[in-house]
Structure 1
């Protein structure tokens, strides 16, 4: 997101709802995030208004997920299935929360590697977005199965298991590294 707010405004078509969201939020960073997402949608030919329910984006037709890091905006859209995406800047801050949100098995698989820790976080966030369920306990309910020999040089598929009550769901997520960030994404059924 290197563009200025003025540049981004020329790259997208803002509806009344967008203008209302911008008007209700004085944070410049939030304006840039919103405008960058609208520009991405226009660039890929999606001309729908994004609505929000409890800060979660939705469209009248199809499914969308949005994520931002310090300098990148990411979207994923599917006309038929729920989707989730999460992008995070690779940073030592992940180490401060890792023991609270990652299982012992996940911590052992990551071996303290910042890229691996960050992509585990991406996957867990992605599962929450796919299920639209904020009550999920990251550590107890989502298991991220890091592939052996994990490397961002390959096309990575990571299986994540969500165990909630008696129900178990497995998600196969894609992941990659881009410009000092990790990103994971996938779709539901």
Structure 2
């Protein structure tokens, strides 16, 4: 794996992006997998899904700088967590890349997406009419910033049943290749405004959020 981006937001929060260059067997050779994890692997379709799952676990090992076993199950909502380390994590992947965000203090969320014009066709599935009016026509990058922001907040809050369209609202913002937007979450278990960071990374859009960010 090749580290292509490492960023420390502060002394407690950082994330890394890796380009996946290994085969599945090479990645497996760098991990210690228990029976549950091998069963999970066997259920994945061979190809990118397997590589993504393995690559995020290898990247976790790199970021924790340990040769010991890392237990990374998912909770009842499907949110991955570290069972034998204190850090909070969020995982993402897209095509040839895998990314991990890690915090020593509070939950985090991260999302990485390859930018494609097709998002214009599904914008009304995850954005309210008012949000779309604020964006304007044919702004692919801005739509991806909104998608990544909503996905990042969804991962941070960790509960199933939260709707991107119904429970999340991106407030109007001026798009830049690297910027900040604000997102209102109004869900049954949580109502809060989040400050979400986004930026272009090569042909991708990256969004990330930290709990209780000022």
Shorter-chain TM-score tier: 0.7 to 0.9
Instruction: Provide the aligned C-alpha RMSD in A.
Output: 2.1
Residue matched to 1:136: 162
Residue matched to 1:178: 201
State the Cα distance separating 1:167 from its structure 2 match. 6.0
Q: 1:49 aligns with which of 61, 71, 92?
A: 71
Specify whether residues 137 and 45 from structure 1 end up closer, same or farther in structure 2 by C-alpha distance, changes over 3 A only.
Answer: closer
Specify whether residues 26 and 151 from structure 1 end up closer, same or farther in structure 2 by C-alpha distance, changes over 3 A only.
Answer: closer
Alignment pair present for 1:151 and 2:170: no
Q: Per-residue displacement from partner, 1:141-162 (whole Å, max 9, x unpaired)?
A: 21112422x210x4x1211111
Q: Per-residue displacement from partner, 1:110-138 (whole Å, max 9, x unpaired)?
A: 32211111110111111111111222222
Number of aligned residues: 185
Alignment pair present for 1:188 and 2:211: yes
Alignment pair present for 1:9 and 2:31: no
Inter-partner Cα distance in structure 2 for 1:65 and 1:42: 14
Instruction: State the TM-score, normalized to the length of structure 2.
Output: 0.77
State the Cα distance separating 1:176 from its structure 2 match. 1.1
Greater percentage in helix: 1
Inter-partner Cα distance in structure 2 for 1:6 and 1:167: 41
Inter-partner Cα distance in structure 1 for 2:65 and 2:82: 10
State the Cα distance separating 1:185 from its structure 2 match. 0.7
Residues 118-133 of structure 1 correspond to what in structure 2 (within 5 A)? 118-133=144-159
Bigger mean CA deviation after superposition, 123-132 or 47-56: 47-56
* Moved segments of 4+, more than 6 Å: none
Residue matched to 1:79: 104
Q: Per-residue displacement from partner, 1:42-72 (whole Å, max 9, x unpaired)?
A: 2212543111224321112221111111221
Q: 1:102 aligns with which of 119, 127, 134?
A: 127
Question: Which blocks of at least 5 consecutive residues in structure 2 are unaligned?
Answer: 1-19
Aligned partners of 2:115 and 2:203 also within 8 Å: yes
Instruction: State the TM-score, normalized to the length of structure 1.
Output: 0.86
